[in-house]
Chains A and B, each alone.
Chain A
Amino acid sequence: MDEEEKEVLFDIRNLKVYYYTLDGVVKAVDDVSLKIYKGETLSLVGESGCGKSTLSLSLCRLVQRPGKIVGGEILYKGSEDILKYDEKQIQQFRGSKVAIVFQDPTSSLNPVFRIGDQIVEAITIHQALKGKEAWKKSYEALSLVKIPSPEDMAHSYPHQYSAGMRQRAMIALALSCNPDLVIADEPTSNLDVTIQAQILLLLKELKEKLGTSILLVTHDLGVTAQLADRVAVMYAGKIVEIGPVEDFYKKPLHPYSKALLGAIPPPHKDVDMLQEIKGEVSSLVNPPEGCRFHPRCEHAMDICTKKDPELIDVGNGRKVACFLYKEGVMK
């Protein structure tokens, strides 16, 4: 894959998002640079509290107080910095250019409005459609996500849907205004494994059909392998590794990526013991000096405790932030 040829949809440069809490400043996203290309599925992987949700929320400026975007740029289609948009512009931008599918469809759909009403609301705000035309569009959106008899189901309330159907409705809502990017924040982690398989295949199919980019935020390395084109691993507010999905699973580079892959119980083979990562996730208020992973890393060297490793290019479209690697050289 040649990076230069693909169209860059979002170019995140040195983004910093901090939460100002009573315990101190939580550096949830600290100096992160990332490109999202058109039509790709990028998976953001990491444990709870690594900043992956904060990063995805800042793409449509939904970070709430005490959180604040304190630095960096988010360039949309190479020109406009969405951090400089005024309130009106950003409202236009949300929903029509970037849409979010949240983890829990039960709490993110409004229980007192019919599913159709909620889709129609989004359509009338962002497109020049009203009344019957907007409803027709909502039926189309529902049939796109394979909800049976959309004309009837659009007039049902969220509680009349099953969990899997609700998540389909959320996806329909997100896609109803043809956004360039859909952020899927743990889209399947509340669902049963058989329903999860259905939703994953639906997302894959829709991406191929509509050419929408997907930013998949998840802790599940199985879901990532099934859906993503590229993987970005986050640890304590920093991206530690980015690369194409096949290479990542074949040969993870960063010690944290390796440890993470070793820690999941493999569903397709038997093992005696799982690999453990020593220690706990470091605090984001007082992150360790140097590389943030060094207290848990088995390859930690002197330099790791002093200098913060930069994300370097090691070829093949892979980048890693670790002193074990040298620019352009893959070991």
Chain B
Amino acid sequence: MSYLLKVSQLKKYFPVKKYVFGLIPKKKGDIKAVDNVSFEIKPGECFGLVGETGSGKTTTARCIVLLEKPDSGKIEFEGQNILSMSRKDLKKVKRNIQMIFQDPYTSLNPRIPIGKSIGEPLELHTDMSSQEIRSEVVTMLKEVGLSPLHYYRYPAEFSGGQRQRISIARALILKPKLIVADEPVSSLDVSIKAKILNLMKLLQTKYNLSYLIISHEMSVIRFISHRIGVMYLGKIMEIADKRSLFENPMHPYTKGLISSIPLPDPERKMKTAPLKGTLPSPINPPSGCRFRTRCEYAKEICEKEVPQLIEVEDGHYVACHLLQCS
């Protein structure tokens, strides 16, 4: 099967420095933000990455759009490794990968009318005339539920939901194949969130887009994704189809994460906290399985060996010693 995006053995460490006498930098260690992460995204698929704060999901996304240079690993887009490409070739690939950021207030330039912001990628990547660009932007504005009258307005004149629509328009204008969205709805209100999520789902089928959606909200990920990867301290713990992940979670962390969601149903109340403790420091992560300090099933082997991501069922990958022994 051909993949649109194939990430293999991706690593990104951030060095932490300590200053001796406040002057001489000395390396203290590394924050292992992304540690040997591999996954694939098929054409037309929505892949969701979910995990707690500090699990490395945003760093993974930033590596894929090359905002961050990975330390090692491969990122293959349509079979070509984008990390070893010449700048010229890279430009061609880049127009196929676009990003939507979390905060629509800081990701739009406040001094440029939004029509210009949306059209800018076309100026950079195509040789369209300004007339053509303008008409293209107007169609895109209509596509995301805004009016052509908004063309000359500035970001400050829009509400949070409308700004996120502008970000989506800007990401879509080049007709990319992959859109990377980092927490696209987490700063939005309930009713606006619903509208943006519906819009993203509609656009996906219309343009046959692939999405990489990052979120800490399980319910958002469940609504929009086809396949889901669960991250914990820089590692992927479980990858599966939406249905099998939610109905048959196998990793103890995924189970805990799913039962931590406060259900909007007063008759199904949580009795005990599913996961104890907090995320350990990513500078000195626990040896072996990184989840073992919070895992109630932790055994001796979990301390010694790092569990590998293996296929337990058809398309359901889990990194846990418990399942690999039995």
Residues of chain A whose beta carbon lies under 8 Å from any beta carbon of chain B: 47-48, 162-165, 192-198, 200-201, 219-226, 228, 245-246, 249, 259-268, 270-271, 273-277, 280-281
Contacts and interface: CB of A to CB of B under 8 A. Distances in A.
A226 B197 contact: no
Chain B, interface size category, equals 35 or more
The interface centre, meaning the residue of B195, B242, B257, B273 with most chain A CB atoms within 10 A of its CB, is B273
A223 B260 CA distance: 11
Interface of B: 52-53, 159, 161, 189-195, 197-198, 201, 216-220, 222-223, 242-243, 256-257, 259-267, 269-270, 272-276, 278-279
Contact of A195 (B191, B219, B222, B278): B278
B188 to A, nearest CB: 9
Contact of B193 (A222, A245, A246, A263): A263
B197 A267 contact: no
Given A219-B189, A222-B262, 11 more contacts: A47-B189, A162-B278, A194-B275, A195-B278, A196-B262, A222-B219, A223-B262, A259-B191, A276-B191, A277-B194, A280-B192
Contacts of B217: 193
14 contacts: A192-B52, A194-B52, A219-B190, A222-B219, A226-B263, A228-B266, A249-B265, A260-B190, A265-B197, A265-B222, A270-B223, A276-B198, A280-B192, A281-B191
B262 A226 contact: yes
Contacts of A228: 266
A16 to B, nearest CB: 24
Contact of A264 (B194, B273, B279): B194
B264 A249 contact: yes
B266 A246 contact: yes
A169 B52 CA distance: 21
A47 B101 CA distance: 22
B195 A194 contact: no
B236 to A, nearest CB: 18
Contact of B53 (A165, A192, A200, A221): A192
Nearest to B223: A265
Contacts of B53: 163, 192
A56 B132 CA distance: 53
A261 B201 contact: no
A220 B219 contact: no
A266 B268 CA distance: 14
Nearest to B186: A189
A261 B191 CA distance: 9
Contact of B263 (A164, A222, A263, A265): A222
Nearest to A249: B266
Given A47-B190, A277-B191, A266 B219 contact: yes
Nearest to A224: B264
A261 B190 CA distance: 9
A124 B55 CA distance: 41
A106 B201 CA distance: 36
A263 B257 contact: no
Contacts of B259: 197
Given A195-B278, A263-B194, A270 B267 contact: no
Given A264-B219, A276-B198, A193 B191 contact: no
B264 A197 contact: no
Given A197-B270, A225-B264, A261-B264, A267 B191 contact: no
A239 B153 CA distance: 35
Contacts of A265: 193-194, 197, 219-220, 222-223
A200 B270 contact: yes
A265 B261 CA distance: 12
Q: Which 10 A-B pairs have the closest CB atoms?
A: A222-B262, A265-B223, A263-B194, A267-B219, A274-B194, A197-B260, A192-B52, A194-B275, A265-B219, A277-B191
A271 B224 CA distance: 9
Given A219-B189, A260-B190, A276-B194, A270 B263 contact: no
A280 B159 contact: yes
Nearest to A164: B278
